[in-house]
Amino acid sequence: MFAAAAAGVLRERAGVRLMHALLLPCCALALSAGVPPWVYLVALGVTLAFGRNAVFGQVPLYRSSPRVAEVLAETLPAGARVLEAGSGDARLAMRLARLRPDVTVVASESAWGSFGVGWCRWRLAGAPGNVALTAASFWSLDWSVFDAVYVFLSPAPMMRVWDKFSGEAQPDALLVSNTFIVPGVPPDRTLPLGGPLQKELLMWCRQHGTR
C-alpha cells in the first residue's frame, strides 16, 4: 500500500501504479487459494529464464518486427557477417538468413529461456549453416569480426554499446539500432520501419568511432 502511494506521489505511469496497488490483494487471493509453494518457485524460474536481462541489464525482451529483417536484407553488403546482440528467440536471425542466404548471422542471447526457444526454432528449420547461436553475453564477444552489429535493447545500455562498437569494430562496419539512439551521436542514416513502436533503424558507420 505504501509502494502504491509512493508511485502516485512520484507520478509513475498508470500501469506501474496499478501493479503496486494490485500486489496486496493478489497476495491475499493466492494465500486464500492455497497455492503450493513450488508454483512460486516455478514462476520465478520462468521469469529469470526469459527476463534476466531486464533485471540485471535494463534490457527487456523485445521482438523485432518482420519489417526489420526486410530492411536489413535490402541494406547489408554482400557476404556480411552480422551480430544480433540480444537475439531473443532468434526469429529475426532466422528470417534474415532466409532472405539473405549469403549473409552469416551470429545470434547472441544470454537469457537461457529465450536461447532455448531460439535453438528449437533453429533446429526445426533444419539448422541452417548461415545462422550460429551462442548463449554468451554479447558484451563478451569480439565485435571486430563482424561487418554489422544489430541491437534492439533499451536506452540504458546504448552509450556502452557505442563505446564497444567504436573501440572494437573494423573500419566501415555498421552499428544498427532499432529505435533507440546513441546519446549525443547523430546517426549517419535512418531507415523507416513504419511501425507505431518500431519506427526506424538508426545506422552508424565505424569511421566515426575512435580507438
CATH number (domain holding residue 150): 3.40.50.150
* 29's grid cell: 487471493
pLDDT higher than threshold 50 for residue 191: yes
| Long-range pairs, 183-187, Cβ under 8 A, ≥24 | 183/158, 183/159
Pair (95, 120) in one structural domain: yes
User: Does residue 71 share a domain with residue 160?
Assistant: yes
Of 113, 111, 156, residue with least CA distance to 138: 111
Identify the domain boundary among 19, 35, 57: 57
Residue 53 makes CB contacts below 8 A (sequence gap 6+) with 59, 60, 61, 86, 110, 111
Instruction: Judge if 204 and 110 occupy the same domain.
Output: yes
Please tell me whether residues 124 and 191 are part of one structural domain.
Answer: yes
The total of structural domains in the chain comes to 2
- At 81-139, the pLDDT tens digits run 999 999 999 999 999 999 999 999 999 999 999 999 999 999 999 999 999 999 999 99
The confidence score (pLDDT) of residue 187 equals 96
Band of the pLDDT at 149, cuts 50, 70, 90? very high
Domain of 204? 66-208
Q: 43 and 111: one domain?
A: no
Compare 59 and 160 and report the one with higher pLDDT.
160
**Average pLDDT over the chain, rounded to whole?**
91
CB 81 within 8 A of CB 104: yes
User: Is the domain of 74 the same as that of 47?
Assistant: no
pLDDT above 50: residue 209: no
Q: Where are the alpha helices (DSSP H) in 58-200?
A: 66-75, 91-99, 112-124, 158-168
**Does pTM surpass 0.85?**
no
Same domain, 80 and 27: no
What phi-psi label fits residue 43: left (phi over 0), alpha (psi between -120 and 50 degrees) or beta?
alpha
Quick check: 95 and 66 in contact, CB under 8 A? Answer: yes
53 plus 141 within the same structural domain: no
